[in-house]
Chains A and B, each alone.
Chain A
Amino acid sequence: MSGHQNYTLNVNGTEHPVKDAWIGESLLYVLRERLGLPGSKGACEQGECGSCTVVIDGSAVCSCLVMAATAVDSQIATIEGLAEDGTLTDVQEAFITEGAVQCGFCTPGLVMAVHHLLESNDNPDEMTVKEALSGNICRCTGYGRIFAAVDAVIAQRQAGK
């Protein structure tokens, strides 16, 4: 195939060279297949399900809709960057203890979306949470335990203030 390029992506604070890559590849593809970061999941390729959610320069986006080569000057945060030292974040812990994980395919995207929400608003009300997570589809849980996990994190963070 023609149209190959070399470029560098900054993912989770580390520079990752991407060599001889077809220019048409999505950020999701490059993360998963070239950089060895398969934590972000692909489930719709249309930005509808949120499984591939990453944070680029402070905005939560669907990495399936971003051309990788357009993200060269950005700070990209993925699920792999959350517990880099081996310690789970409060959101990750709550997802496990509250039963928010079943098959787990939506989980990385949801964990990213919850972190992103709580970074901008540390005490969101119920409707704010639901709206913020409405771009992340979960087919297993019916969302009840996911809401419980978010509520648990909010309560912990408020108690810790």
Chain B
Amino acid sequence: MVLTKTRQRDVLGHSALRPDGTAKVKGDFAFSSDLWAENMLWGATLRSPHPHARIVSIDLSKAWKVTGVEAIITASDVPGQLTYGLISEDQPVFAFDVVRYMGEPIAAVAADHPETCRRALAAIEITYEILPPLTDPEMSIGEQHIPIHPDGNLIREQRIVRGDITATGPIVVEGTYIIGMQDQAFLGTESALATPDHDGGGVEVYVATQWLHEDRKQMAKCLNMPEEKVRLTLGGVGGAFGAREDISLQVHTSLLALRTGRPVKMQYGREESFFGHVHRHPAKVWMKHHATAEGEIVKIEARFLFDGGAYSSTSAAVLLNGITHTQGPYRCPNAIVEGFASRTNNPPCGAMRGFGVVQACFAHEGQMDKIAEAAGISPVAVRLLNAIRTGDTLITGQILESVAPVERCIRETDALPLPPPLPTDAHELLLPGGSGLTADRRHIVRGIGYGVSIKNIMYSEGFDDYSTARCILKDGVATIKFATSEVGQGFVTLAPQIARSVLGVDEVVTETIDTQIGSAGSTSASRQTWMSGGAMDGACRMVRERLFEHVAAIHKLDPLQLAIENTDVVDTRGHLRIPVSEASSGVRFEETFEYHHRPTEDLDENGQGNCHVAFAFVAHRAVVDVDPELGLVKVVQIATAQDVGRVLNPLSVLGQIEGGIAQGLGLAVMEEIIVQDGKVRNPSFTDYLLPTALDAPTVIASMIEEPDPQAPMGAKGVGEPPCISVTPAIVAAIRNAVGKSIDRCPVRPQDICL
């Protein structure tokens, strides 16, 4: 990918630079953890050390004696609803009778110094009656199961039945695939600053979140306040990846501020962050593919089991995503799929980049390689043979209306150059094991693997996740506003590009991101380019119409014949050409636009229904070097061709592709939260390993531009696809290198060498 370096107008299609870039490279950018207020207190949370226990008593007396403590709160101090949640409100603000996972909040303190907080938390005495933890998701929903929550253990069950369920073929392959629990591991841990109103009737909160309005809704219920009394502003967000979709410290910080009448700041440390947000669901996926002798899919049978952990979060939606992506980007006329999301005393799981599709893809791509082997064709050939196309019917009965260049993704990926063989004198850091110097380079074997994926974009099942944007044009300057969370993805770069393209202005002022405008929905599901981009595009177009009417009235022209050309208003059939700055001089046009995607619907009992809005596709090819004796892997190169619809900012898209690949690599060979008997064993960056500069593979990327007519600007979301099929591609490459069946990720050394 060659990026254009010429700096032209920063309109759509150009690599406009981040408007917050200068502040970020100088250390001036205010992340939520950088906020400070006069007379501010620090807040901290007491968490359960047990995965399952009854709270017998809580004694705060010693904690109150710690000098500097200003407030201690527990469940009995929650003025409103005692529980919250994104889909089902089943998670306590503070545990009030039973703790259901290790790390569940029980109390919070506000004090003059973080160290005072730590000492006060240590002085809180809780008597627990320890209960046996229910940690096996199969047992959780088995016949003999004991409910661990009043709502029961089955968070959701859904099946899909399509076509002839007795159909079969000469090729039958099956596998059970295990996907480990991954952490989003954003670098900027959870943090917020809450300031109470003088009369105690409201609160202002700066917080790093993915969805300001949803946070506000849940907070208002727990705080027992009208929503308008809870005012949220986006604090600078240090990454998100799904982990900020659920609320974490929002209610706690607000309660402490309201209780003390002083600003309170809370900021999790890294260990607490591992307990403070949901993770990617660990899952067990069984699939059985029936195919013709040539390798064409006839039927898929599948069973998904997602471990939702102690509280439901978004498990119901993750399950839906998993089962509805069973077939992958391949035609499948017959299917019988069942899926379960179960409750356990493991850490709660919810949104993470890829949202259920990562688990499905790992399984279906393993299956495609098994079909290829049985049919005697290559991994590429089996995928091309089955590649889905626009107009095909999915196993849910939904017609695939999105532009679906699956075949092109596969062919272009395969056509990208392979890396040279590992040189005999390769730098030691390029070997599997890297600086550990453990690989015997004579035994290193190379493997190649492929992965292809389909990912729904936007929310599903009848949810109207609209977005709102406002545009004001005055004196040649556009002022724009939205509540879209900027988490690093670059909507703050894209929104001004849209305004410049539509309005012909160069100067665009972006107002504060807060709840003083309608919701933008969540920065998740690869949805903001489409949704908030659509809202911004709509608001700017409405302003442009007003501008054209104004110019047409003055010059006695037909407003429908006016257009924007660069920075001018022009009459397409005449000679008028005036700069937008002049045309908008002394006038002010303001419009707010709410963008809604087309409606979707629930699945019926057989999993049939138009439940998704749109889809994006991608293919990955991985090249790995493996030390088979020690089970070490070096990912050498990832080649990818991604269906992006239209490239609105090449540099931003490339950033999403490379970043997503690194996270998918993490899930393939490095990253797993280890949970034993409900206890998290590696809640630190020392023990939970993230890809570093030395682990990053060479990435060669091709962006496939086939604008989608359903997308407001032809562009699909690009955030999630990069991290989905890269994981199975890497694992397939490891299998290819060592000739072993490996059906779990991350792949551990023992999976290769034992």
> A-side interface residues toward B, CB under 8 Å?
1, 22, 24-25, 29, 32-33, 37-46, 48-49, 51, 78-80, 82-83, 88, 92-93, 95-97, 99, 101-108, 111, 127, 129-131, 133-147
Q: Please give me the residue from chain B that is nearest to A91 by CB atom.
A: B25
B83 adjacent to chain A (CB < 8 Å): no
Q: Determine if A96 and B18 form an interchain contact, defined as CB atoms under 8 angstroms apart.
A: yes
Residue of B nearest to A94 (CB): B25
B487 within 8 A of A: yes
Q: Which residue of A lies closest to B15 (CB)?
A: A99
Q: A1-B115, A99-B652 are in contact. Are A49 and B685 (CB under 8 A)?
A: yes
> How distant is A30 from chain B, measured CB to nearest CB, in Å?
12
Measured CB to CB, the closest approach of chain A to B534, in angstroms, equals: 22
- Secondary structure at the A interface, as helix, strand, loop or mixed, is loop
User: B694 to A103, Cβ gap below 8 A?
Assistant: no
Question: How long is the Cα–Cα vector from A137 to B693 in the complex, in angstroms?
Answer: 8
Q: Which residues of A lie under 8 Å from residue B373 when comparing CB positions?
A: none
CB-defined contacts of B18 to chain A, threshold 8 Å? 96, 101
CA–CA, A23 to B22, complex, Å? Answer: 35
In the assembled complex, the Cα of A15 lies from the Cα of B222 at a distance in Å of: 47
Cα(A107)–Cα(B26), bound, Å: 9
Q: A101-B18, A144-B699 are in contact. Are A79 and B27 (CB under 8 A)?
A: yes
Closest 6 CB pairs of A and B: A39-B27, A103-B488, A104-B24, A105-B238, A142-B662, A142-B658
Q: List 22 A-B contacts (CB under 8 A).
A: A22-B113, A22-B115, A38-B30, A41-B187, A43-B188, A43-B685, A45-B270, A88-B25, A95-B25, A99-B652, A99-B654, A105-B187, A105-B188, A131-B429, A139-B241, A139-B662, A140-B239, A143-B662, A143-B696, A144-B658, A146-B693, A147-B693
Q: Which residues of A contact B20 (CB under 8 A)?
A: 101, 104
**Residue contact B116 to A1, C-beta cutoff 8 Å:** yes
Nearest-neighbour CB distance to chain B for A43, whole angstroms, equals 4
- Output the least CB separation between B204 and chain A (Å): 20
Query: How many Å lie between the Cα of A37 and that of B36 in the bound state?
Result: 12
Number of interface residues of B (CB under 8 A): 67
A1:B489 contact, CB within 8 angstroms: no
Return the CB mask of B17-48 against A: 1 if under 8 Å, else 0.
Answer: 11011101111111101101000000000000
Residues of B contacting A37 in the complex (Cβ-Cβ under 8 angstroms): 27
Report A-chain residues with C-beta under 8 Å of the C-beta of B189: 42-43
Chain A nearest Cβ from B529, distance in angstroms: 15
> Is A127 a contact of B31 with CB atoms below 8 Å?
no
- Please state if A137 and B692 are interface contacts (CB–CB under 8 Å): yes
Query: Which residue of chain B is the closest to A80 with respect to CB atoms?
Result: B27
Establish whether residues B655 and A141, one from each chain, have CB atoms under 8 Å apart when the complex forms.
yes
Complex: A26 Cα to B134 Cα, angstroms? 40
**Chain B residues within 8 Å of A38, by CB:** 27, 30, 34, 36
Name A46's contact: one of B28, B238, B241, B686 (CB within 8 Å). Answer: B686
B490 within 8 A of A: yes
For A134, list chain B residues within 8 Å (CB): 692-694
Task: Verify B28–A39 contact, CB threshold 8 A.
Answer: yes
Q: A79-B27, A105-B188 are in contact. Are A143 and B67 (CB under 8 A)?
A: no
Whether B559 is near chain A, meaning CB under 8 Å from some CB there, is no
Give, as a whole number of angstroms, the nearest-CB distance from B549 to chain A: 39
Contact present for B690 and A137 (CB under 8 Å): yes
Interfacial residues of chain B within 430-477, with CB under 8 A of chain A in the complex: 430, 435
In the complex, what's the smallest C-beta–C-beta distance from B522 to chain A, in angstroms?
16
A143 near B187: Cβ-Cβ < 8 Å: no
Report A-chain residues with C-beta under 8 Å of the C-beta of B427. Answer: 127
User: Chain A: which residue is nearest B21 at the CB level?
Assistant: A96
Whether B188 contacts A41 by the Cβ 8 Å rule is: yes
State whether A105 touches B239 (Cβ < 8 A): yes
A38–B18 Cα distance when bound, in Å, is 21
Residue B185 CB within 8 A of the other chain: yes
Q: Flag whether B661 is at the interface (Cβ < 8 A).
A: yes
With beta carbons under 8 angstroms apart, the residue of A40, A82, A139, A145 that contacts B690 is: A139
Between A24, A82, A139, A143, the greatest number of chain B beta carbons within 10 A of the residue's beta carbon is seen for A139
Task: Provide the residues of chain A in CB contact with B657, threshold 8 Å.
Answer: 142
Partner of A131, one of B115, B694, B699: B694
B81 interface hit (Cβ, 8 Å): no
Complex alpha-carbon distance, A99 and B489, angstroms: 11
Instruction: Specify which of A96, A103, A133 is in contact with B187 (CB 8 Å cutoff).
Output: A103
B201 to chain A, nearest CB (A): 30
Residue from B186, B659, B686 in contact with A142 in the complex, judged by beta carbons closer than 8 Å: B659
Cβ-defined partner of B270 (8 Å) among A39, A44, A88, A102: A44
Query: In the complex, what distance in Å separates the CA atom of A118 from the CA atom of B188?
Result: 27
Bound form: Cα–Cα A153–B28 in Å: 22
Q: Is the CB of A1 within 8 A of B67?
A: yes
Asked whether A40 lies within 8 Å of B25 as measured between CB atoms, the reply is: no
Across the interface, which residues of A come within 8 angstroms of B663, CB to CB? Answer: 139, 142
Query: For B696, what are the chain A residues with a Cβ–Cβ distance below 8 Å?
Result: 130, 142-144
Q: 13 extra interchain contacts, Cβ-Cβ under 8 A, other than A103-B240, A105-B187, A142-B696? A: A22-B115, A43-B187, A44-B270, A45-B270, A48-B684, A51-B187, A99-B17, A129-B693, A136-B693, A139-B241, A141-B662, A142-B658, A145-B654
